[in-house]
Structure 1
Amino acid sequence: MRTEATQRIELVFGLFDANGNGVIDIGDFDLMSKRVVEAAFDADESAKDAIRAAFRRYWVTLETELDTNGDGVVTREEFRGFVLSPERFGPTIGQFADALAALGDPDGDGLVERPLFTALMTAIGFGRTNIDALFDAFEPTADDRVPVATWAEGIRDYYAPDKAGIPGDHLVGNPAT
């Protein structure tokens, strides 16, 4: 497993622990889902329902696959198994990637504008400098938009333990400004 993947997964654990209590539980996913939906106030209800369903599936998958002692929470140690078995999580990540990227395209033109991308990524918990570096790494158009498909693929790549030098690496640490 690549060091970059380990760093990415450690960051995700901290983001998923939305209430900061040191473990991940259903309440964290409900809180994050609420924040993301609120940030996408212009999105239609079907897009909001899709991201809610994706967050719910994400939690169910984590609980089913990683909660080894059945206590209803996923610890940091249990979560590390996530990156070690990407084949168990591919469909869940795919649903989440597609739903989040589509949420960023309320007008349905296939492109995500920087302000909404920033709002959604901020709602998840990423830092502004890192968000801007990621958006720039997606090579936006002249009018500062990125294809929905590019963002969705970037999310999938983020969870791949064999990937390095990907746009998502900009979310970890402090990118050069």
Structure 2
Amino acid sequence: RSAEAFFTEVLDQTGDGFVEWPDLAAMARELATRLDLEEPAETRLYSAFADWWRELQAELDTDGDGRVSRDEYARAVPSLAGPALIRVAEVLFDVTDTDGNGVIDEAEYRALFRTGFHRTPEGTAHEGYTRGAFVRDFLAFMTGRRRSTPYDPLLADA
């Protein structure tokens, strides 16, 4: 999908043609609700999204109006996976991995994505979602580089 389509379908939660803090806060709220987070996990997630917002503003808001337009976003797509977005992915992994074993198991996956693991062709269940794989997939999705069956509905309607 194009950067413009990703911007409209996922990032611009309010539908006003810009990304601002309320758009990212809506994403954080959706994730916190899905995972039924309590303090301090909820605060960690919101803080990570707030840091990402500040990074987006600093890097992409070229006209200084305090928000990111679709055009500003599309021009910057190649450089979007900055430290703050990586931190969002890491925090999301941590709060999803409720047993702290370093792998998102099937129940944790279902809580986040509201769907089960995909089955392999042999019919065996996926063993888990490692931190590295999760962060890589989240970054690829959030920078608009790749569609993702579980991620598409996760934030598109937050």
TM-score bin (small chain): 0.7 to 0.9
Q: 1:72 aligns with which of 41, 66, 88?
A: 66
Residue 87 of structure 2 is aligned to residue 95 of structure 1: yes
C-alpha displacement at 1:115, in angstroms?
A: 5.1
Partner of 1:27: 22
Deviation for aligned residue 1:95: 0.6
Equivalence for 1:117 = 109
In structure 2, the CA distance between the partners of 1:137 and 1:143, relative to structure 1 (3 Å rule), is: closer
**Partner residue, 1:170:** 148
Provide closer, same or farther for how the CA distance between residues 121 and 22 of structure 1 changes in structure 2, counting only shifts above 3 A: farther
User: For the residues of structure 2 that align with 1:31 and 1:158, how far apart are their CA atoms?
Assistant: 17
Greater percentage in helix: 1
Taking structure 1 as reference, are residues 137 and 23 closer, same or farther at Cα in structure 2, changes over 3 Å only?
A: farther
Match of 2:148, SS state, is: helix
5+ residue gaps, structure 2, are 153-158
Return the offset for 1:108. 1.0
Whether 1:145 and 2:100 are equivalent positions in the alignment is: no
TM-score for both structures, normalised by structure 2: 0.72
Q: 1:137 to 1:51 in 2, by over 3 A?
A: farther
Distance of 1:137 and 1:82 partners within structure 2: 36
Report the residue type matching 1:92 in the other structure: A
* Alignment match, 2:96: 104
**1:120, 1:9 → 2: CA distance?**
26
The DSSP-based 3-state class of the residue aligned with 1:54 is helix
Q: Secondary structure at the residue paired with 1:60?
A: helix
User: Residues 10 and 96 from structure 1, CA distance in 2 versus in 1: closer, same or farther, beyond 3 angstroms?
Assistant: farther
Q: Percent identity?
A: 24
TM-score for both structures, normalised by structure 1: 0.66
Per the TM alignment, residue 37 of structure 1 is displaced from its structure 2 partner at its CA by 0.9
Q: Deviations over 1:7-62 (max 9, x none)?
A: 36742553121122221111111222111111111x45333222111110111111
**Deviates further, 6-15 or 144-153:** 6-15
Question: Alignment RMSD, CA only?
Answer: 3.4
